[in-house]
């Protein structure tokens, strides 16, 4: 999520709201384990982590100028980029202990598509597969053909990757022995006769010019490919774990107007098509919020299970038990990393202060310079918006930190600002962090 852009649009618009074709590679799956289904039965354990924005340590600054440049960057795009490697190391250690059967990673694997970050990530994922854990990735909008791929070590652009290189680097993590879509990096991997993974590539990296395009679309040809290939799964009652970087539903009322580009283009039709194809749950990322939203499609429900970013507050990941048509979702937050933080601070405190400081500064700037709010009022309002976004990031948000009396005053001052705040604080059904889902 690009805070600077998104919030500008949010504040402006809230008033208006109230490879080759279909190839099934014949090579035998060396990872296929005959005991997999047995060991997973009656429950399959799934982990989901998203928006890793991994930034290889060789790209971190080595000079004072580099440190200043990185700090300036992080202030306008609050991600814990300098700690991304430590955070992921911790999550991988956790997953090795938890030992899920499958790990799903719905995109934004890297900060901005740096080749060296992708290559390092693939080595790290190997630790999981070596332990018998299957890892599946798809690209996010930052991961491919990204003109903003940059090194704070050399203070110069660094090499990014092509779509073909993505499929090559992550061959072991989704593309091996999979049915490939010829129009995108989407794939279907048949883990066994009862369980498939559908990775959907909805990113527009082929159109990138000066930066990564935020919005996403599932091409018509790709959707046709999904429908035709999932017909067998639907007929044979095969469970399909689907993931796509972009949301398939709004995660708060007015998100598309307030902050365009985070829900897939043509979302109503996409949700209907996926539901008709037999999908009940889609794992998403992109907005950096830990939020689950239910979409009613005819007499069915499609759940968009968005997982927050590992480098954004509060660094969540999911542990899920799948048993037949029931899914039990738990959320864990990273609470410690093996890095020495300024002043000996613990990770949670450091992360909270980092996000609070960056977001305070941004809202003060926007409220005063773009919306004419007097400095004293902006100083009061900025923490309210900061807290609202951080509450949405964490999920299960409750409208509490803003005193009701003061909110009424804000409403009188500006329906625009009050509406934006209320929308961010209104958690749409269902619960976000600990919940169970069941479908017919």
The answer to whether 114 and 157 are in contact (CB under 8 A) is no
Task: Return the number of the residue (101 or 110) whose C-beta is nearest Fe ion.
Answer: 110
Burial class (CB in 10 A: 0-12, 13-18, 19+), 12: middle
Q: Using omega within 30 degrees of 0 as the cis cutoff, is the peptide bond preceding 314 cis?
A: yes
Stretch that binds Fe ion, among 101-109, 226-234, 235-243, 332-340 (CB under 5 A): 101-109
Round to whole Å and give the CA distance between 255 and 246: 13
Closest contact distance (angstroms) between CB of 322 and Fe ion is 25
Options 40, 83, 88, 108; binder of Fe ion; rule CB under 5 A: 108
What minimum distance in Å lies between the beta carbon of 287 and Fe ion?
A: 8
Pick the closer one to Fe ion by CB: 51 or 432. Answer: 51
The phi and psi torsions of 402 (rounded to 5 degrees) equal -90, 120
Spatial CA neighbour of 383 closest among 411, 403, 409: 403
Question: What is the length of the chain?
Answer: 440
Cα–Cα distance measured from residue 389 to residue 269, given in angstroms and rounded to the nearest whole number: 28
Stretch that binds Fe ion, among 47-55, 386-394, 395-403, 407-415 (CB under 5 A): 47-55
**Binding characters for Fe ion, 164-203, by CB under 5 A (x = yes):** ----------------------------------------
* Contact stretch for Fe ion (CB under 5 A) within 67-75, 102-110, 315-323, 422-430: 102-110
Question: What does residue 251 show for φ and ψ, rounded to 5 degrees?
Answer: -105, 0
Rounded least distance, CB 51 to Fe ion, Å: 4
The answer to whether 271 touches 302, Cβ cutoff 8 Å, is yes
- Number of continuous H segments (helices) and E segments (strands) in the chain: 13, 15
Name which position in 51, 82, 181, 432 contacts Fe ion (CB under 5 A): 51
CA distance 391 to 397: 5
Write down the least CB distance from residue 157 to Fe ion, Å.
20
- CB closer to Fe ion, 190 vs 245: 245
Instruction: Draw the binding track, 240-279, toward Fe ion (x: CB under 5 A; -: no contact).
Output: ----------------------------------------
Contact by Cβ (8 Å): 42, 291: no
Rounded least distance, CB 315 to Fe ion, Å = 13
Structure tokens at 89: 């190391």
Query: C-beta of 384: minimal distance to Fe ion in Å?
Result: 24
Bridge partner list, 306: 284, 291
Decide if 140 contacts 216 (C-beta within 8 A).
no
**Cβ of residue 39: shortest distance to Fe ion, in angstroms?**
33
What minimum distance in Å lies between the beta carbon of 81 and Fe ion?
11
Residue pair 363/382 in contact (Cβ under 8 Å)? The answer is yes
Which of the ranges 100-108, 171-179, 401-409, 410-418 carries the binding residues for Fe ion, by CB under 5 A?
Answer: 100-108
112 binds Fe ion (CB under 5 A): no
Is the Cβ of residue 192 or residue 333 nearer to Fe ion in the bound state? 333
Task: Using the minimum distance from each CB to Fe ion, give the nearer residue, 196 or 283.
Answer: 283
DSSP calls for 93-129: HHHHHH--SEEEE-S--BSS-BHHHHHHHHHHHHHHH
Closest to Fe ion by CB, 250 vs 273, is 250
249/421 with CB nearer Fe ion: 249
Q: How far is the CB of 146 from Fe ion (least distance, A)?
A: 12
Looking at the Cβ atoms of 196 and 262, the one nearer to Fe ion is 262
Peptide bond preceding 404 in cis form (omega within 30 of 0): no
Cβ 235 vs Cβ 196: under 8 Å: no
- Residue number with CB closer to Fe ion (170 or 384): 170
At its nearest, how many Å lie between Fe ion and the CB of residue 108?
A: 4
What one-character DSSP code corresponds to residue 309?
B
Smaller CB separation from Fe ion, 108 or 432: 108
Q: How far is the CB of 50 from Fe ion (least distance, A)?
A: 8
Q: Could you report how far apart the first and last alpha carbons of the chain are, in Å? A: 34
Nearer to Fe ion, 334 or 373 (CB): 334
In the complex, which residues of this chain contact Fe ion (CB under 5 A)?
51, 108
């Amino acid at each position: 999520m690009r805070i600077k852009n998104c919030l500008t649009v949010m504040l402006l618009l809230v008033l208006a709201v109230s490879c080759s074709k279909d190839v099934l590679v014949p090579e035998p799956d060396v990872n296929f384990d005959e005991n997999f289904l047995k060991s997973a039965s009656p429950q399959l354990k799934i982990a989901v982590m998203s928006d890793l924005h991994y930034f290889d340590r060789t790209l971190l600054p080595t000079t004072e100028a580099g440190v200043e440049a990185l700090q300036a960057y992080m202030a306008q795009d609050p991600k814990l980029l300098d700690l991304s490697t430590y955070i992921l190391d911790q999550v991988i250690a956790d997953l090795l202990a938890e030992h899920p059967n499958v790990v799903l990673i719905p995109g934004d694997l890297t900060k901005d598509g740096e080749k060296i970050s992708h290559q390092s990530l693939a080595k790290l994922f190997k630790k999981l597969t070596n332990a018998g854990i299957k890892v599946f990735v798809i690209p996010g909008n930052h991961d491919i053909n990204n003109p903003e791929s940059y090194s704070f070590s050399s203070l110069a652009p660094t090499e990014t990757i092509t779509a073909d290189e993505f499929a090559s680097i992550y061959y072991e993590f989704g593309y091996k022995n999979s049915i490939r879509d010829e129009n995108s990096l989407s794939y279907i991997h048949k883990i066994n006769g009862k369980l498939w993974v559908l990775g959907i590539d909805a990113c527009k990296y082929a159109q990138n010019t000066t930066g990564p395009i935020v919005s996403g679309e599932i091409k018509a040809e790709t959707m046709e490919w999904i429908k035709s290939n999932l017909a067998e799964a639907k007929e044979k009652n095969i469970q399909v774990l689907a993931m796509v970087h972009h949301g398939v539903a709004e995660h708060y009322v007015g998100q598309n107007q307030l902050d365009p580009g985070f829900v897939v283009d043509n979302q109503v039709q996409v949700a209907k098509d996926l539901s008709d194809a037999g999908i009940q749950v889609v794992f998403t990322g992109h907005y950096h919020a830990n939020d689950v939203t239910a979409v009613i499609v005819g007499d069915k429900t499609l759940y968009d299970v968005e997982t927050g970013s590992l480098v954004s507050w509060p660094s969540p990941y999911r542990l899920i038990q799948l048993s037949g048509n029931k899914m039990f979702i738990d959320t864990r937050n990273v609470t410690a990393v093996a890095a020495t933080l300024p002043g000996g601070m613990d990770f949670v405190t450091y992360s909270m202060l980092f996000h609070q400081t960056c977001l305070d500064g941004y809202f003060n700037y926007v409220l005063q310079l773009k919306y004419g709010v007097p400095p004293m009022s902006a100083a009061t309002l900025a923490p309210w918006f900061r807290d609202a976004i951080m509450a949405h990031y964490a999920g299960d948000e409750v409208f509490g930190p803003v005193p009701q009396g003061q909110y009424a005053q804000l409403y009188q001052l500006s329906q625009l600002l009050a509406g934006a705040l209320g929308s961010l604080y209104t958690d749409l059904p269902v619960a976000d962090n600990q919940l169970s889902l069941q479908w017919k």
